[in-house]
Each structure stands twice: as structure tokens, then as C-alpha cells.
Amino acid sequence: MKPIDPRLLRYARATRLFLTAVVALGAVGAGLLVAQAMLIAEVVVGAFQHSMAAAELRTPLLLLVAVACGRALVGWLTELAAH
């Protein structure tokens, strides 16, 4: 069996931070995805089942926009860290 090339170990140490960042951002992205699904369900149920007006759904809709922007930011940061 061949020994591990020391250059590979140096590269592994250098990428540890980026790998940790990608994993953490993936977890945050998963949480935001769940939040987005819950907010979409809340808006749809409120609008169609409870006949709520758009003014009554303002808070969930604004939260939905914020979560969507957060997911976009997390996706961009993940791509940046993975690059």
C-alpha cells in the first residue's frame, strides 16, 4: 500500500473550512426550505379554505418573500464556498 501524498493532506486542511461552510449552509438551506413550504401552505389554506383577503395574509406573504430571499442568499453563499 502506498503512503498518502503529503500534498493531499495540506489540501485537505485548506479545504476544511470551506467544507464545513458548505455543510452548515446546506443545513440552513434545508431549514429555509421547510419554512417556505409551511408559509406557502399557510397562504394557500388561508386564501382558499378560510377565504382570507390579501391584507389578512400580508404577514405570511412578507415572510415568504423574506424566506425566498434568504434561500437565494444561502444558495449563492453555498456556491461561493463550494467554488
Q: What is the tens place of the pLDDT at every residue in 13-25? A: 778 888 889 999 9
Q: What is the pLDDT of residue 4?
A: 79
- What confidence category does residue 44 fall into, taking pLDDT thresholds of 50, 70 and 90? very high
- 45 domain residue, yes or no: yes
- For the chain, the domain total comes to 1
| Cα 25–chain centre separation | 6
Q: Which one, of 16, 11, 64, lies nearest residue 40 by Cα?
A: 64
58 within domain boundaries? yes
Residue 59 inside a domain? The answer is yes
Residue-number span of the structural domain to which 65 is assigned: 6-82
Residue owning grid cell 386564501: 47
Closest residue by Cα to residue 47 from 34, 35, 61, 36: 61
Residue 1: inside a domain, yes or no?
A: no
According to the model, what pLDDT value does residue 5 have? 79
Q: Tell me, what's the pLDDT at 43?
A: 97
Residue 65's pLDDT band, with cuts at 50, 70 and 90, is very high
